[in-house]
Structure 1
Amino acid sequence: MRKIVSGALIASLFAASAFAFSVEGEPNVKFVGYKLANKTGVEGTFKELGFKSAENANFADFLKSFEFNIDPKNINTKLPDRDKRIGIIFDGNAIAAKIVSASGDDKAGEIEVEVSVKGNSKTYKTQYTVEGGTLKAKIGVDLLADLKLDETFAKFATAAKAFHGGKSYPDVEISLEAKIK
């Protein structure tokens, strides 16, 4: 009888791991920053994300395993000089982000994302959806009010003044897409 129970337990563990959620490949994180008086958006991505996650059969627990550690040298707007100017904002400090809470299922729900840089952090609550096997979420970050990057943002704005018509905005929209399997 003990062999049957042990066998059933092992089989159920294998079955549960076979249905665990995981990320296929590297997620895509994009950002949009704004410039000029008419608030023109500038899109960018990150070449490397320092991403890690853990497989889990529970979707909320799977999401809570998402962690990012982004080196500002990995900013990619397709203009290397602009990438270096944007990097001034972070003063060589990594941008850390992680999902700290999640509720919902493998179709939709809500997550809280903690973003940290230079010892300052803020948690953002946002909705997520999973469409066609792709997880999608978006947050809005204010580099000054939320992350206290006043001094380095001022240096960036000065360095970008000629390219921004004298106007740089501290709000940034960050979006995440990850292929879920």
Structure 2
Amino acid sequence: MNRTILFYTLILLPFVAGFSQEPVKNQSCSYAYDHSSTKFGWKAFKFTEKTGVGGSFDTIEVVGTTAGNSPEKALKGLRFKIDPNTVNSGNPERDGKIKGAFFYPLKANGKIEGKVVSATLSSDKTSGKGTIQLSFNGVRKNLDVAFTIQEGTLNATGKLELADWKALSSVEALNKVCTDLHQGKDGVSKLWPDVELTISTKLKVDCK
């Protein structure tokens, strides 16, 4: 997978952190973002029964990262860009339809940009929440995310309501070119207007 310099997450999202090692009590630790460990995923939904279809983006760029004495400080201010041309659902024919019918008609051909507004961990460092300022289709809004830390990896999730980013026309266009493929058991062709975002990553930890 080809990744540029760094980073989601929403969109997204690029902004979350895990721990590559556990700091020892009373040690002074520095935390830094590790782009090599980052994975960004999305899941759209089709059929009336809402069946998920997942994928990722192969090129994500992240800038503005700095080391800090806490995970929150290492993440705040992180900025990211996602290239919709690199959407990857594991099906080249479907990817072409997603690009042509969904992304390209949007402003800036569907380019996604954002930055981390806040990230807060719980006292036991096993969960947390954050806010991302997401720019998409000419709309800039905040997106809330929640995350958990398991075995040193942080997994974050957020829900993107495409109506909030004025992208429903693209949802309809994509469903039109995929009418038969989006037809469920009830005979109804349906593409849902929300997308689930997932991001996993780690932070490099240096303790002295």
TM-score by length of 2: 0.71
Greater RCO, 1 or 2 (C-alpha within 8 Å, sep 6+): 2
Larger Cα Rg: Structure 1 or Structure 2? 1
Mapped to 2, the partners of 1:175 and 1:123 lie a distance apart of 16
Other-structure match for 2:85: 73
Which of 178, 187, 191 pairs up with 1:168? 191
Which of 9, 19, 39 pairs up with 1:28? 39
Other-structure match for 1:120: 139
Change (3 A) 1:39 1:20: closer
The alignment covers a number of residue pairs equal to 165
Alignment of 1:28-177 (within 5 A): 28-52=39-63, 53-87=65-99, 88-91=101-104, 92-104=109-121, 107-144=126-163, 146-165=164-183, 166-177=189-200
Contact residue 115 and residue 134 of structure 2 kept, 8 A: yes
CA deviation digits over 1:26-70, x for unaligned, max 9? Answer: 410111101122211101011111133332223212121333211
1:104 aligned partner, one-letter code: L
Contact residue 127 and residue 148 of structure 2 kept, 8 A: yes
Contact residue 60 and residue 82 of structure 2 kept, 8 A: yes
Larger helix percent: 1
Contact residue 56 and residue 89 of structure 2 kept, 8 A: yes
Mapped to 2, the partners of 1:29 and 1:130 lie a distance apart of 16
Let me know the Cα RMSD of the aligned residues.
2.1
Contact residue 31 and residue 203 of structure 2 kept, 8 A: no
* Percent pairwise identity: 27
